[in-house]
Amino acid sequence: MKKNSERILLAHGSGGKLMQELIQESILPNFKSPILKKLNDSAVFSLGNKRIAYTTDSYVVNPIFFPGGDIGSLAVWGTVNDLAMVGAQPLYLTLSLIIEEGFLRSDLDRILFSIKRACRKADIEVVGGDLKVVEKGSADKIFINSSGVGMVSKGVNISACGARAGDKVIINGYMAEHGIAILNERENLKFSTKIKSDSAPLNGLVKDMLSVSRSVHTMRDPTRGGVAAVLNEIAQASNVGILVYEDKLPMTEVVKGACEMLGFDPLYVANEGKLLAFVSPEDAETVLESMRKNPYGRKSQIIGEVVRGSKRTVFLKTSIGGTRIIDMPSGEQLPRIC
Ligand code: MG
């Protein structure tokens, strides 16, 4: 038992070490579900003869409007992507809005319009919701919880524990854009206006990938904690070592420059339209080719591989030829990023 005086910190919500600890020590011991234990992006279970994926997320991003998106599209696509990461076809969505008293009605309408467009783009339908208003100061503007349901096809088995030695690691494009876009907007940093969030629905891309291969073993979207956190989660869940090549990591010059100026390692910066896929080496090129034909995968790249030995560790081969360990993020880099 922890001391009664211990408090929740922002870092407990960062997607890094403290969050993992909180989940393992406080949350999981209360719920014995073997489905939950897998800690996949969506729970997958059978109902009758259908396999269903189900997921829930809350969105507290600050600011609520940012280049490349807003809290509405983020809530829809974030949930769509968590369904897609287990190979599910997203079908239905519910949304809960928690609004602070005094919030502009026109801003709410703008967010709802964005939700409508985002649903159309991802081919998902809002079928339910809830609305709460809290006193001024009890919440910041608006928070959104979204839950989604999808269907998993026969023969699709994608799980965080599925990566195996030899698998190639593929990313579908430029890293670190969402985190830097949010920071640029929030702190008024005046970096190039070309920095936009990569927020996007990935279900169409995943569908293309699965239509050419049944050897996509693992997928996850590197949101909070970035690529580094997800690689570590998968190295642990699959009990493997992962090697990543620094000179293969796709990044725009402007984001790279912003990260350098701010002292951020782009591997730890959030993405909202990226996925990491672990694919058997025989199928990796075919999957890569199919991804590059999709608008959300044009800059797809093999960035690394699963290596033998060195279990549960992620290594980076640097561009100057050295090797270093990529650890799980420890502190809080950017709160309220999504
Ligand atoms: Mg996810």
Q: Which H, E and C letters describe 56-83, residue by residue? A: EEEECCCCCEECCEEHHHHHHHHHHHHH
Residue 330 domain-assigned (yes or no): no
Residue 44, pLDDT above cutoff 70: yes
Spatial neighbors of 136 by CB under 8 A, at least 6 apart, are 100, 101, 102
Same-domain check for residues 205 and 145: no
CA of 105 to the centre of ligand 1 (A): 31
Q: What is the mean pLDDT of the chain?
A: 96
Which band of pLDDT confidence, cut at 50, 70 and 90, is reported for residue 323? very high
Residue 1, pLDDT above cutoff 60: no
Same-domain check for residues 138 and 172: no
pLDDT in tens, 142-170: 999 999 999 999 999 999 999 999 999 99
In the chain, the percentage of residues whose pLDDT exceeds 70 is 99
Q: What is the mean pLDDT of residues 269-290?
A: 98
Tell me how far apart the terminal alpha carbons of the chain are, to the nearest angstrom: 31
Range of the domain at 183: 168-325
Residue 221 domain-assigned (yes or no): yes
What is the model's pLDDT at position 15?
86
Question: Of the residues 125, 152, 179, which one is the last residue of a structural domain?
Answer: 152
Same-domain check for residues 128 and 180: no
CA of 86 to the centre of ligand 1 (A): 10
Which band of pLDDT confidence, cut at 50, 70 and 90, is reported for residue 333? confident
Same-domain check for residues 283 and 189: yes
Count of the separate structural domains present in the chain: 2
CA of 56 to the centre of ligand 1 (A): 10
Residue 31, pLDDT above cutoff 70: yes
Residue 304 domain-assigned (yes or no): yes
What is the model's pLDDT at position 3?
66
CA of 220 to the centre of ligand 1 (A): 6
What is the model's pLDDT at position 14?
87
What is the model's pLDDT at position 327?
96
